[in-house]
Amino acid sequence: MSAVLKTLANGVRVVCDPMPGLETLALTVVAGRGAANEDPARSGWAHLLEHMVFKGAGSRSSRDIVEVIESQGGSINAATGYERTSFQVRALKGGLDLGMDVIADLLLRPTLDEADLVREKQVVAQEIAEAADAPDDYVFDLIQTAAWGEHPVGRPILGSVETVNAATNAALSVWRGALYAPDRLVISATGAVDEAQLMAAAERAFGGVPVGECLAEPVAAPFIGGHAGEVRKLEQSHLVFMLPACGAREQDYFALRIFAECLGGGMSSRLFQEAREKRGLAYNIDAYSDTYADHGALGIYAGCAAKDAVETAKVCAEQLVALARHIEPAELARAKAQLKAHMFMAREQPLSRAEQAAGQVLLFDRLYPPAELAHEVDAVTPADIVRLGERLLGSRRCATAILGAKSALKAGPAFEAALFAAA
């Protein structure tokens, strides 16, 4: 059975994707807005609002929201990103109507109690502190700022204690109406779901939401680049290197995914083999693509001893430049197989499948069948990889973030020098 995409009269889009043989379902309602829509004064508000709606919504208390789902064998969760906010329910067959009603209450009828807001600000403050205490998380906040500067994606999704404390219930209520407006809402259900039941539930829960005033979409972030570093007494230094690349809507998207896979996507990748297996420089090292709708980046992460940081940076630069110049046919074929496996294995998990479909609708206003995705991956040629490599290096910009001993901070400039000297 193939997935179906339909649209309610107010613009809310609905995806129904049955998976025969399953006794469970996944329901996600995704608002195609998030931290990237925040101005500096509201930094962290999308995440704070996600927390607050769980404190009470409709006629249910915070405890009721969880218990009513779990009493039927389900689970409920949410996540805030830069470009979307997701509310997710996993349930047994037959749990669709309840899941839809609870999520609708969260998005449309949160209580937003003043006492809850005071307490939740304290909770988020602890979450911010916890992230700062986790070096392998915090270093990615540093690289976001180094790469994207003052643009919203250059700020942490959690915001700061100051901006979170500035939020009021009245302001959050207005913000909720804009953030969760129907023009950017996608309801996506997979697994043991029926199209007629889903459409009836979606219409009942979300069909009456007024269109209202639409938020302007954020502009693509210009890649600023630069070096960020912080000295900490750690057993291991954490290094992240980033280059400007393409967005998810651009022609080179799949070439970027394959490039990252070849560079550092697995145990056969260039970085793993050279930095870990041959030289023993790092236990953890990988490359990744960080893409948004209209901009993106290629990133590398490594955790290593401070004494090896500079050498690790040079190896990363050298391997990146070498791949940008030439890719072996067997290497390209292996990366394509790995990428397709990642995408198709995710489709075997109902929640991942529902989220993937919602993302496609938000980006392209359509669904991509697996065969079409496979074709896009298989169509990438060695010339495409070289063209992407020229784009990665052609800007002569990079961003680096180093967290660890003082001597490790030299790895940032060392990466840049080795990268562009070799290029």
The per-residue pLDDT for 217 is 79
Q: Domain residues of the chain, as ranges?
A: 4-206, 226-422
Task: Please give the pLDDT value at position 423.
Answer: 62
Q: Which two tokens stand for residue 206?
A: 């979300």
- Answer whether CATH 3.30.830.10 is correct for domain 226-422: yes
- For the chain, percent of residues with pLDDT exceeding 90: 96
pTM strictly above 0.85: yes
Other C-beta atoms closer than 10 Å to the C-beta of 102 total: 24
- The pLDDT of residue 261: 97
User: Is it the case that residue 422 has pLDDT exceeding 70?
Assistant: no
Domain 4-206 and domain 226-422 have a common topology:
yes
The continuous run of DSSP H or E covering 335 comes out as helix 329-347
CA distances from 324 to 219, 312, 384 (A): 28, 18, 10
Largest CA distance in the chain: 63
Q: How confident is the model at residue 2 (pLDDT cuts 50, 70, 90)?
A: confident
Question: Which burial class, exposed, middle or buried, applies to 396 when counting CB atoms under 10 A from its CB (0-12, 13-18, 19+)?
Answer: exposed
Q: Do 403 and 335 touch, CB atoms closer than 8 A?
A: no
Q: How much is the pLDDT for 169?
A: 94
Domain 4-206 has CATH 3.40.140.10: no
Instruction: Give the integer Cα–Cα distance in Å for 231 and 405.
Output: 5
Cα separation, 229 vs 238, in Å, equals: 10
Question: Of the candidates 21, 401, 44, which has an alpha carbon nearest to the alpha carbon of residue 192?
Answer: 21
